[in-house]
A and B are shown apart, each in its own frame.
Chain A
Amino acid sequence: MEQRLSDPAADPHALQRSTLRGNAESIGFAIMVAALVVTPFFTYPLFLMQAMCFALFACAFNLLIGYVGLLSFGHALYFGWASYLSAYAAKAWGFTPELAILTGTATAALCGLVAGLLAIRRQGIYFAMITLALAQMMYFFALQAKFTGGEDGIQAVPRGHLFGVIDLRNEAAMYVVVLVIFLAGFLFIHRVVNSPFGEVLKAIRENETRAISLGYRTDRYKLIAFVLSATLAGVAGATKAIVLQLASLTDVNWPMSGEVVLMTLVGGLGTIFGPVVGSFVILVMQFKLAAMGEWVLVIQGVIFVACVLLFRRGVIGEIANWLRIRL
């Protein structure tokens, strides 16, 4: 025991370990960027763009569950409503794609603020239930409202011209835009987690009572994290609407909320790369198994159970633990 507690300054491996940590993240990031730059030459760019949108969605969700310890079971609300508003702004109002995405994002931020104010004081399962209830309420609203197009959704959304100049019907141009948005969102989340604010979030997750006794008004920090998470989920949903030229009920319904939980869990809660890997794994699986119809759901269920029982840390979490690094 005393041995392990010896002066870290006298431990030559300690410094090495901490630089390795930083490096592991940089290397992981380089690999991710390289893969996203190279793969469109080998597979369907549309699939990759969709996957990046879901990856950003999962990263946004992970900001809340992985770094604050709050389980929102209604994140489809922000993804889906951002998707609707982005699609509607582009189609009905003729907004340029960047303004359409901003419109969708702002919608998600606003919904996040309202839902956050209602839910943030609740703990544990009550928090999850309130977020789910609010999301279901907004699902029924989407079902009834005229502008959402009901069962049809909003189809044939024009991709338009970025800044009124770059034609996004060009697949390469669209790909670059999505890649930039995804990477910006990813880096932003990384920064939030590794900021003075992120340090307080960590403290709240570790011991909220103690954080309060040190004078932290913890509800405010949780609310800000909630709104940031909803906003980023909105960026993902709004971008998705432009990419797939579609916003539909699928985006706001509860299975979407469940899917983002699954993606994050498979990749690794509270790891920075986990949600990205998790969403790619799930989407590739859905794509490959599409012919099997309903069986996909069964297989997803099995994966979910396997993760909970056997690989609690998820793919990235297990790797990081095995290599004793942070990813």
Chain B
Amino acid sequence: MAEDHHGSSRHMSASQKELGDEDARVVRVGDAERTNERLEFAGNAVRTAKYSPLTFLPRNLFEQFHRLAYVYFLVIAVLNQLPQLAVFGRGASVMPLAFVLIVTAVKDAYEDWRRHRSDRAENSRLAAVLSPGAGGGEFAPTEWNRVRVGDVVRVASDESLPADMVLLATSDPTGVAYVQTLNLDGESNLKTRYAKQETLTTPPEQLAGAAVIRCERPNRNIYGFTANLELEGGESRRIPLGPSNIVLRGCELKNTAWAVGVVVYAGRETKAMLNNAGAPSKRSRLETQMNRETLFLSAILVALCSVVAALSGVWLRNHEHDLELAQFFHKKDYVSDDGNGNYNYYGIAAQIVFAFLMAVIVFQIMIPISLYISMELVRLGQAYFMIRDTNLYDASSDTRFQCRSLNINEDLGQVRCVFSDKTGTLTQNKMEFRCASIEGVDYSDIARQQPVGEGDRIWVPKKMPVSVDREIVELLRNGGETEQGRHAREFFLALATCNTIVPLILDGPDPKRKIIDYQGESPDEQALVSAAAAYGFVLVERTSGHIVIDVLGEKQRFDVLGLHEFDSDRKRMSVIIGCPDKTVKLFVKGADNSMFGVIDKTMNPDVVRATEKHLHAYSSLGLRTLVIGMRELSQEEFQEWQMAYEKASTALLGRGGLLRGVAANIERNLRLLGASGIEDKLQDGVPEAIEKLRQAGIKVWVLTGDKQETAISIGFSCKLLTREMTQIVINSNSRDSCRKSLDDAISMVNKLRSLSTDSQARVPLALVIDGNSLVYIFDTDHEDKLFEVAIACDVVLCCRVAPLQKAGIVDLIKKRTSDMTLAIGDGANDVSMIQMADVGIGISGQEGRQAVMASDFAMGQFRFLVPLLLVHGHWNYQRMGYMILYNFYRNATFVFVLFWYVLHTGFTLTTAITEWSSVLYSVIYTAVPTIVVAILDKDLGRRTLLKYPQLYGAGQREESYNLRLFIFFMIDSIWQSLAVFFIPYLAYRKSTIDSASLGDLWTLAVVILVNIHLAMDVIRWNWITHAAIWGSIVATLICVMVIDSIPILPGFWAIYKVMGTGLFWALLLAVIVVGMVPHFVAKAIREHFLPNDIQIAREMEKSQDSHDVTHPEVQMNTMARA
């Protein structure tokens, strides 16, 4: 994974560089032989499978041993194979490791087999490839894995593209092809791609061998492509190729009968495959903390081993002279040749070392290896319940909750800071044209709205605004010659032309009417074009060279002479249109701050002033605003531009920069036409969700690309901002003023803080800051000051922020506090923030899938954050925290019991408990209940958690897992091990008890004790919990009986013998009671005299339940609402 990430950044930077000759890839069209001469291009066979039958064993083992825990396992198993250290038999010592390895290997093998199968299916699909040499120009069906770079491929409608191809020709005479990129980025609308005019007319077989494409190296950027096409013969010309000329593997051809293209990237070098990186791997905070306690446990382990080793040294020294003849030691070896050598005795120093290593082997489960596997299983179970939760299911888009990362479920319970995108996350991203300001006149009066007249329309947009402004309609229809009327026409003409929308004509139920589906990448543009259509400027057709607009019932053709696409530096786009009346017009639309820079304000200052006022008003209503300007170009100006444009667009080096320069050069001295206001509706339940999150002690930050007024008004409408809040606004245009306002803000915060200590009522603060100021702050190392202000505020609103700044803001908090951060967003611009935050959540809705692909969890609606965090997050955290502590405790108890016994065996690491029981202890005897409880137990019900969001604070305060609890558990563990060991020990002192019988008693006592400990902490008992806990005890008894039924084991029949004595049962009962008393007393005191919120809420829930029994229907109702 890590490799992939590095790879990606390298590729990204490569794609941003311009195409240089030395690293260009040369593709000879239709001549795959010569293209692949040097064998440097990948074939089209894809291979997602990791292993082949031959490599499976070594590679899989290699990957598994990347986990440190497994290496620990392995080292211990290897140590145990040394004859001097052979504590366990071969079988018992290798079993746990083998078990884990085999389970994982089987899982991996199954997954890989499925990948192999899908690879085979994918590779054996058929594509029509132009067969070279034949000359007849025939397309022969070829398997996908035989397609090579340079092949000319023909694709029919609704077929998938086998590789990344440059379009040469399509069924459309103008060379347009539509592709659906659903598999690539999840966007369901069609994208337009063009074949170049120059190749369109030549039959493909003639192009073969005559054309050469030079393109950049394979990279991950699916929105970028730089190449040029060189046609041999005649005058050698270089034709520029861009992202609109390439179609990518994984897409489907739509609404186009056929398309012919030449393969430039194949197989694993296609952009789809390069983007096939898995979800980012994050680590949960609990796991990081757990590693700290694991270190403690290692220290305890080393201490125990050192004690044993040291004491064994002392013992050997004290008995140095005795041991020669002691029957149980037999130091001398009389059989071997030299007669007087020692048998298996290498001097005290060596014996101490051996004792230490043997102690490590015997006490190995002090570090609970099984915990890692348990945690994975538990997360799987938790993920299952989150995915299945009907409260996280979005019926409107039919999307379920997705768990993309299985490592951080429990982080959801500790979030303190939520960073939210606005558009598409808080709002629906279903844009609707609301109002316009044309030539300084505001048309936003609701009173004048009228329903769209459908009377004599031929073209009906699929998603049309429901109403239009009566006055504008009048103006357009009748005010033809007035100044205002002309402006209004130009305004709507600008809306209809200045975009990249593709109209698709569909047949409606009424044969006289055509339904138009506007396909485009920006929902704002769709809204604007639909609005233009509603006012009678219907975009009907688009090819690469012209568009057709139905202007108030009359079809007109406009030539698209040039198009400067939107980029985030300019924040505007423009088109140059050749109108039917032979004039050339430049239409520009863009964000207001960028537009007012290029508008000639001297031309009509009143209009500019009025428009600015209207813009302010619109954004206060929460509308997204765009400013539209235009300029008529003179013939010379146009020609000058055209030369510059052509030069720039065929340039090999720095094409993007040159084009930006050309655009900036022409986009100036514009005349202001007007502005539009588009409404972006709030998603369902957003204000309530934000309120709940705030009650839960979670800070909500909104990071948006919108302007300040829009952001603030949305802030109010979603209850993020309230009237009683004091707003601190930082929007500065220079470094100095920025620093100054930051200092002001700090002094204000401090003043308010000192005030609030006196009076109880604290003034809530809100910080509003814009992207420019953020740039200055991050540039000039004032981050600390910003942090100081931000952390004092209840709400932070960042507007006009660029994608990378979003990540910077998240990092600001992440670096300086230990607060858990969560980022939620839906668009490509949120990816960096989602990956930066501790928890990244993607909204799987309108804008595509990049955010989802980068996220850890994905869901349909913002409001699902509330049940996700407050309910599932709370449960996951509480369950996982308890499970980790319990696993530590459980294994430590067992180890301590072994330790006490070792002290009575001459420090020789003998265990009375059979080696098989030692091995099975954490695998079978006690594993299932903790996993079941960690998946199913609930400390509080869903309703309670939603009713009292403050209960979420338990996770933020780390109440379920902390060092104090760990120490408590360890003390308990020591006490219980003392009870388990010493009660039978004292009772059986000076008796005939054999080690197997005593070992069996200890085994059962430990297992019952730790299971009862768990049972005492279980909060909700359902039948599965019962089965797991009591079943485990029965399973242990059965295992012990089976082990004792094997005659060649020394302990044969011991359990049956010892179970027949009353003493056994009396001791078992005594061990359990004595072991549990401290835990029970502590629990009783804690729950009654020092209750935490969760305890109180549990009691409330209990009394509520008894109430509900009498009124069951009430419960059903509230549940349905929850």
Are A and B part of the same complex?
A: no
